[in-house]
């Protein structure tokens, strides 16, 4: 009766979980690798990374063929993409855009030039400015500035270009942008969709590829296309994670099934072995969906590991009880279940330590595994025995157990020596690597390959597009206030450029000065009659007449009464994208972003930048080094993971102490696990691997999984060969499950696999070697 | 067996081949331009003085400047303006150094395409790189080796330099003229090497 009830409860819960799993949302984007940021400032930064204008930029590089063909392809690709509604802006440095840029700067030179002051338009100021322009025209190459002499004798256009010089323009060849070495034509496309909208990014990337293929086919050109940008990374990572999850699940599933098929030689047993696994997986995914709303693709990838753990319970049941005879089943429940239960609880303790992790991916892994292990264990205990057919029996594995037992007994002769040697060797390796145990770069966890990151950095530098470098962030309650703050900061930064602390910087205020500053410049311009009068005196001794400068007087008069430049006036120029990327709305307030460029030394002294800003910029300026910031964040998470893992270990130790009630018995369980963890850590370091967050988590899992083995050895068994055989098969399943992960191209999965697979095996071997000498095996 | 029409075709092909060969032979005969390039290539370095006059709309008289122009094969070019205001343009390979009013700026020539046009015209002529000149400019040669004019019109559609005109006698350049838009131009008369 009671058994029937358990079946009903199980079936009901499984149905419910299946419903939740079917309706859950799944995501395979990069957010599992972006830490949840603790502070408001960092939250904004991450939000900016995910949805800001920078996240919408796709950089296209056209290689191969010759310079003229690449330029032609760049032009036809830009034309095709401009006609595509998915893109808000497409730039390739075409002559048309450059002309529009130049025309915009020239038309608004008196509102943009930092040199426009009352002093400059006095008689002495005009004389000095015009003399300077004439000297410039007479210098080598200066003739190119001569055509605009009549309309711009004070050289405001040059002053404007001087301020923009800090944001190095991309190189051009054959009329389009090219990379630094000139072997690729470059194109910048901005999508309408946010960078975090991976589906839209995938569509945009597809549109670029299709348009390029068509253009290349029409031109009969053998050219290559390279794409980079946050959207490209997100799409590639998603594909990579999906592929990895599919392949890994399939591969480890097949491997473990093959192992079980060879072990049981019974189809019924094979099918039943999957019942706890499937129950665990359902429960795990359902729990994650309920708690987090979205299930990360990586969680499913980690979930492969659960197969290795959940399948163990049915292995213990089937092999150790051998038959489904009611007596045998009850016997297993009485003798072996308490050991399995304790092992299960230690695993739960280990996984629970992941729950507070700041990485959504890890927190999900913890919950998934915790729920999965519990469900699998309880299913094995309460459901599986009732499902066994009446004449169920698996192959007798005593011979395997007996053979392994003999090996272990031989090994036990030297176990004291072994412990000392292994512990010493591991300690020596750890000590030798003490300075660089940890990989402290957040990018170590990124699923974006190093080569792709390098390509991105190179193309970004060629286009002068802000990357993940140093920048100044100014927050203000409004757009105009943010621009005014950017102007004050720009003045301070210009001084730093003069002193060589900086190579240059970008600011939205260079293209779009605040209304206040524009008005101030307008007020500095004299009315036409006054200007004409001053020019008459200012031109004394210079080869110019007031009449010849009539275009200048007209331009100044026009600028005096012109409406201020607004964002809409930038349309069609390449400055529109720049301003949108550098002046962003964050809820109720605005952020001005001023990316910094390193001086010749290649290094920016942020301390001097902060000091320089503190003097002349009263607005709240934050100087950020995005890469260092991200790594600092990661370092705190690494420290957190180590702390949580230690807490998990302490919980496991407490659990064992309560259950075993003896320090000696506890030592016998803990020592082999500690040795396994030490050996794996030393092994990884000796192989040149630097430890990441995931290695730490892996070590926790070694303890969680390995405690099962150690407990079985410690508690002893009425049938040691049979118990040992079940442990061997269970261990093989775990090693297969994690071993497959070790070959993944996704770093988080790989790090976990390469820690747990060898660790679980070592835990079994050390537990077997350090176990109490069992009584002589029973004959037969 | 070759039929009648086929044979005629073969004869035609042979004729065309011969004709092409003759054309090739003709092309190989040195033109005055290639001979001029050969003369320049033989010169490894040189230093001359110049007197430049810049004309532009609005100027009541040309701006006059003077200085020293130096070249060292294959890629080093220096133009020092000494009067009225000292300034300098020094190019070495792709490195561009501009000195003006006490400031020295080190730049990359590839970032300044308009200066690059002037520099390429000068360096490729002085180094005798005729083929490269013809890749970058529509090259016009008039006169004789003893008294020649070279007009270099940039092929790049976005160039601000309209044309560069050189004139000279054998491997001696006598004048350099740079034409900018709207009638602005600089005419440099080349004089003897500096006295020092």
pLDDT in tens, A92-108: 888 778 888 889 999 99
- At a CB cut-off of 8 Å and minimum separation 6, what does A654 contact? none
Overall average pLDDT of the A78-89 stretch: 90
Residue B36 lies in a domain: yes
- Give the residue from B55, B56, B157 with the most A CB atoms within 10 Å of its CB, the best one to mutate: B56
Q: Quick one: B20 and B40 in the same domain?
A: no
Residue B196 lies in a domain: no
- At a CB cut-off of 8 Å and minimum separation 6, what does A151 contact? A551, A552, A555
pLDDT tens-digit series, residues B82-110: 988 899 999 999 898 988 877 888 888 87
Q: What is the pLDDT of residue A780?
A: 34
Q: Which residues of chain B make contact with A150, given a CB cutoff of 8 A?
A: 56-58
The answer to whether A134 contacts chain B (CB < 8 Å) is yes
- Give the residue from B53, B55, B63, B136 with the most A CB atoms within 10 Å of its CB, the best one to mutate: B63
CB contact under 8 A, A134 and B63: yes
Q: Which residues of chain B make contact with A71, given a CB cutoff of 8 A?
A: none
Residue A306 has pLDDT above 80, yes or no: no
Overall average pLDDT of the A460-481 stretch: 78
CB contact under 8 A, B158 and A98: yes
Q: Is the Cβ–Cβ distance between A277 and A343 less than 8 Å?
A: no
Residue B179 lies in a domain: yes
CB contact under 8 A, B61 and A543: yes
From CA A707, how far away is CA A659, in angstroms rounded?
13
CB contact under 8 A, B184 and A142: no
Which SS3 state, helix, strand or coil, does residue A760 take?
helix
Q: Is the Cβ–Cβ distance between A47 and A194 less than 8 Å?
A: no
From CA A280, how far away is CA A311, in angstroms rounded?
10
Overall average pLDDT of the A432-450 stretch: 75
Q: In the structure, what pLDDT confidence band is assigned to residue A48 with cuts at 50, 70 and 90?
A: low
Q: Quick one: B1 and B64 in the same domain?
A: no
CATH number of the domain bearing residue B186: 2.50.20.10
Q: Domain ranges in chain A?
A: 2-26+234-432+662-770
The chain B residue lying nearest A600, using CA atoms, is: B106
Q: Quick one: B46 and B126 in the same domain?
A: yes
pLDDT tens-digit series, residues A639-692: 777 888 888 888 888 888 888 888 888 888 899 999 999 999 999 999 988 888
Q: Report if pTM > 0.90.
A: no
CA distance B179 to chain A (A): 8
- At a CB cut-off of 8 Å and minimum separation 6, what does A265 contact? A394, A395
Q: Quick one: B15 and B69 in the same domain?
A: no
Domain count within chain B: 2
Residue B88 lies in a domain: yes
CB contact under 8 A, A149 and B186: no
Helices (H) and strands (E) in chain B, counts: 4, 11
Q: Quick one: B17 and B92 in the same domain?
A: no
The shortest CB-CB distance from B85 to any of A135, A141, A543 is to: A135
From CA A187, how far away is CA A176, in angstroms rounded?
8
- DSSP alpha helix (H) spans, A167-296: 198-218, 230-264, 267-292
Q: Quick one: B76 and B12 in the same domain?
A: no
From CA A197, how far away is CA A357, in angstroms rounded?
25
The answer to whether A175 contacts chain B (CB < 8 Å) is yes
Q: Give the CA-trace dihedral at A350, A352, A358, A361, to 10 degrees.
A: 80
Residue B11 has pLDDT above 60, yes or no: no
Residue B86 lies in a domain: yes
Q: Are β-strands A589-597 and B76-83 bridged in parallel, bridged antiparallel, or unpaired?
A: unpaired
CA distance B11 to chain A (A): 34
CA distance A544 to chain B (A): 5
Q: In the structure, what pLDDT confidence band is assigned to residue B186 with cuts at 50, 70 and 90?
A: very high
The shortest CB-CB distance from A138 to any of B65, B113, B180 is to: B65
Q: Are β-strands A294-296 and A25-27 bridged in parallel, bridged antiparallel, or unpaired?
A: parallel
Q: What is the pLDDT of residue A329?
A: 66
The chain B residue lying nearest A543, using CA atoms, is: B60
Q: What is the pLDDT of residue A649?
A: 84
Q: Quick one: B58 and B8 in the same domain?
A: no
Q: What is the pLDDT of residue A118?
A: 94
CB contact under 8 A, A143 and B185: yes
Overall average pLDDT of the A204-219 stretch: 94
Q: What is the pLDDT of residue A419?
A: 85
The shortest CB-CB distance from A146 to any of B52, B54, B61 is to: B54
Q: Is the Cβ–Cβ distance between A565 and A108 less than 8 Å?
A: yes
From CA A385, how far away is CA A249, in angstroms rounded?
27
Which SS3 state, helix, strand or coil, does residue A312 take?
helix
Structure tokens at A424: 């010493």
Q: Quick one: B23 and B35 in the same domain?
A: no
Q: Per mean pLDDT, which of A164-178, A274-288, A335-349, A568-582 is the most reliable?
A: A274-288
Q: Which residues of chain A make contact with B110, given a CB cutoff of 8 A?
A: 171, 182
- Over chain A, what is the mean pLDDT? 84
- Measured in Å, how far apart are chain A's first and last C-alpha atoms? 37
CB contact under 8 A, B181 and A98: no
Q: Is the Cβ–Cβ distance between A125 and A119 less than 8 Å?
A: yes
From CA A148, how far away is CA A685, in angstroms rounded?
66
Query: Please, what's the b/e burial string for A298-320 (b: 16 or more CB within 10 A of its CB; e: otherwise)?
Result: bbbbbbbbbbbbbbbbbbbbbbb
From CA A94, how far away is CA A161, in angstroms rounded?
19
- At a CB cut-off of 8 Å and minimum separation 6, what does A205 contact? A58, A227, A231, A232, A235
Taking an 8 Å Cβ-Cβ cutoff, which residues of chain B contact chain A? 52, 54-65, 79, 81, 84-85, 87-89, 100, 106, 110-111, 113-115, 118, 156-158, 160-161, 178, 180-186
pLDDT tens-digit series, residues B19-47: 444 444 455 567 889 999 999 999 888 89
pLDDT tens-digit series, residues A504-562: 888 899 889 999 999 999 999 999 999 999 999 999 989 999 899 999 999 999 999 99
Q: What is the pLDDT of residue B23?
A: 47
Q: Quick one: B94 and B168 in the same domain?
A: yes
Q: Which residues of chain B make contact with A92, given a CB cutoff of 8 A?
A: none
User: Which residue's structure tokens are 């001053």?
Assistant: A534
Look up the domain containing B11 and give its range: 1-28
In 3D space, the residue among A758, A754, A713, A700 whose CA is nearest the CA of residue A731 turns out to be A758
Which SS3 state, helix, strand or coil, does residue A513 take?
coil
Q: Quick one: B52 and B142 in the same domain?
A: yes
Q: Quick one: B134 and B50 in the same domain?
A: yes
CB contact under 8 A, B79 and A140: yes
Query: Residue B43: exposed, middle, or buried by beta-carbon count in 10 A (0-12, 13-18, 19+)?
Result: middle
Q: Quick one: B61 and B98 in the same domain?
A: yes
Q: Are β-strands A583-586 and B137-144 bridged in parallel, bridged antiparallel, or unpaired?
A: unpaired
Residue A40 has pLDDT above 70, yes or no: no
The shortest CB-CB distance from B56 to any of A95, A141, A147 is to: A147
Higher pLDDT, A720 or A493: A493
Q: In the structure, what pLDDT confidence band is assigned to residue B165 with cuts at 50, 70 and 90?
A: very high
The chain A residue lying nearest B155, using CA atoms, is: A174
ipTM over 0.85: no
Residue A26 DSSP code: E
């Amino acid at each position: 009766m009671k058994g029937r009830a358990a079946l009903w409860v199980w079936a009901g819960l499984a149905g419910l979980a299946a419903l939740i799993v079917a309706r859950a949302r799944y995501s395979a984007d990069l957010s599992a690798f972006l830490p949840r940021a603790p502070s408001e400032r960092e939250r904004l930064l991450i939000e900016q990374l995910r949805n800001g204008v920078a996240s919408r930029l796709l950089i296209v590089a056209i290689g191969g063929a010759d310079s003229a063909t690449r330029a032609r392809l760049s032009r036809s690709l830009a034309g095709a993409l401009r006609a595509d509604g998915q893109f808000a802006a497409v730039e390739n440095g075409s002559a048309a855009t450059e002309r529009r840029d130049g025309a915009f700067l020239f038309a608004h030179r008196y509102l943009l030039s930092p040199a426009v002051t009352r002093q400059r338009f006095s008689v002495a100021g005009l004389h000095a400015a015009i003399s300077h322009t004439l000297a410039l025209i007479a210098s080598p190459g200066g003739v190119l500035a001569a055509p605009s002499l009549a309309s711009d004798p004070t050289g405001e256009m040059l002053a404007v270009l001087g301020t923009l010089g800090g944001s190095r323009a991309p190189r051009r060849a054959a009329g389009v942008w090219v990379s630094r070495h000139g072997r690729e034509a470059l194109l910048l496309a901005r999508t309408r969709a946010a960078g975090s909208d991976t589906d839209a990014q995938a569509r945009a990337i597809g549109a670029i590829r299709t348009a390029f293929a068509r253009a290349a086919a029409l031109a009969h050109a053998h050219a290559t296309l390279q794409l980079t940008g946050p959207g490209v990374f997100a799409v590639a990572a998603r594909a990579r994670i999906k592929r990895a999850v599919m392949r890994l699940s399939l591969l480890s599933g097949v491997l473990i099934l093959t192992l079980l098929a060879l072990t049981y030689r019974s189809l019924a047993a094979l099918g039943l072995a999957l019942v706890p696994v499937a129950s665990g997986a359902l429960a795990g995914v359902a729990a994650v969906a309920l708690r987090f709303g979205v299930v990360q693709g990586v969680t499913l990838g980690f979930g492969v590991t659960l197969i290795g753990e959940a399948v163990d319970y049915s292995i213990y049941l089937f092999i150790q009880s051998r038959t489904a005879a009611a007596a045998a089943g009850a016997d297993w429940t009485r003798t072996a279940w308490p050991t399995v239960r304790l092992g299960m609880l230690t695993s739960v303790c280990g996984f629970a330590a992941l729950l507070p992790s700041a990485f959504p991916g890890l927190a999900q892994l913890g919950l998934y595994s915790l729920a999965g292990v519990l469900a699998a264990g309880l299913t094995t205990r309460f459901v599986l025995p009732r499902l066994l057919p009446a004449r169920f029996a698996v192959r007798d594995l005593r011979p395997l157990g007996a053979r392994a037992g003999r090996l272990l007994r031989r090994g036990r002769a030297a176990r004291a020596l072994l412990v000392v040697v292994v512990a010493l060797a591991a300690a020596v390796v750890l000590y030798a690597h003490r300075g660089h145990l940890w990989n402290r770069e957040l990018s170590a966890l990124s699923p974006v390959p190093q080569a792709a990151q390098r390509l991105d950095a190179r193309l970004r530098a060629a286009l002068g597009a802000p990357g993940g470098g140093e920048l100044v962030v100014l927050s203000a309650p409004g757009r105009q206030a943010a621009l005014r703050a950017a102007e004050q900061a720009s003045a301070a930064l210009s001084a730093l450029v003069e002193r060589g602390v900086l190579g240059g910087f970008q600011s939205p205020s260079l293209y779009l000065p605040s209304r206040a500053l524009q008005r101030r410049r307008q007020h500095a311009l004299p009315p036409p009659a006054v200007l004409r009068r001053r020019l008459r005196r200012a031109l004394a001794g210079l080869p110019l007449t007031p009449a010849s400068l009539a275009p200048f007087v007209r331009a100044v008069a026009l600028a005096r009464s012109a409406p201020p430049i607004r964002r809409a006036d930038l349309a069609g120029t390449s400055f529109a994208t720049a301003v949108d990327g550098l002046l962003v709305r964050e809820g109720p307030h605005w952020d001005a972003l001023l990316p910094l460029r390193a001086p010749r030394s290649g290094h920016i002294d942020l301390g001097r930048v902060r000091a320089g800003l503190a003097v002349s910029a009263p607005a709240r300026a934050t100087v950020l080094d995005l890469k260092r910031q991200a790594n600092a964040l990661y370092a705190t998470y690494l420290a957190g993971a180590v702390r949580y893992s230690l807490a998990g270990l302490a919980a496991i130790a407490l659990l064992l102490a309560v259950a075993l009630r003896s320090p000696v018995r506890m030592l016998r369980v803990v020592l082999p696990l500690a040795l396994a963890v030490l050996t794996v850590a030393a092994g990884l370091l000796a192989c040149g691997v630097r430890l990441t967050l995931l290695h730490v988590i892996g070590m926790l899992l070694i303890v969680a999984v390995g405690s099962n083995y150690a407990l079985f050895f410690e508690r002893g068994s009425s049938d040691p060969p049979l118990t040992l055989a079940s442990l061997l098969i269970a261990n093989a399943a775990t090693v297969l499950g994690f071993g497959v992960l070790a070959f993944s191209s996704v770093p988080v999965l790989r790090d976990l696999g390469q820690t747990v697979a060898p660790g679980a095996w070592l835990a079994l071997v050390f537990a077997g070697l350090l176990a109490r000498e069992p009584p002589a095996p029973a004959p037969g | 067996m070759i039929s009648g029409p086929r044979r005629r075709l073969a004869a035609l092909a042979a004729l065309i081949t011969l004709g092409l060969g003759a054309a090739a032979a003709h092309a190989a005969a040195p033109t005055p331009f290639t001979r001029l390039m050969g003369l320049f290539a033989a010169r490894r370095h040189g230093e001359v003085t110049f007197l430049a006059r810049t004309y532009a709309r609005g100027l009541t008289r040309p701006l006059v400047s003077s200085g020293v122009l130096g070249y060292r094969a294959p890629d080093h070019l220096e133009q020092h303006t000494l009067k009225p205001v000292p300034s300098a343009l020094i190019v070495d390979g792709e490195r561009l150094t501009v000195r003006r009013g006490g400031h020295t700026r080190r730049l990359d020539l590839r970032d300044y395409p308009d200066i690059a046009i002037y520099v390429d015209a000068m360096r490729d002529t002085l180094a005798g790189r005729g083929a490269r000149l013809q890749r970058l400019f529509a090259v016009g040669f008039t006169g004789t080796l003893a008294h020649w004019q070279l007009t270099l019109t940039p092929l790049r559609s976005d160039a601000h330099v309209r044309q560069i005109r050189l004139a000279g006698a054998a491997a001696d350049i006598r004048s350099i003229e740079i034409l900018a838009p709207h009638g602005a131009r600089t005419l440099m008369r080349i004089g003897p090497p500096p006295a020092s």
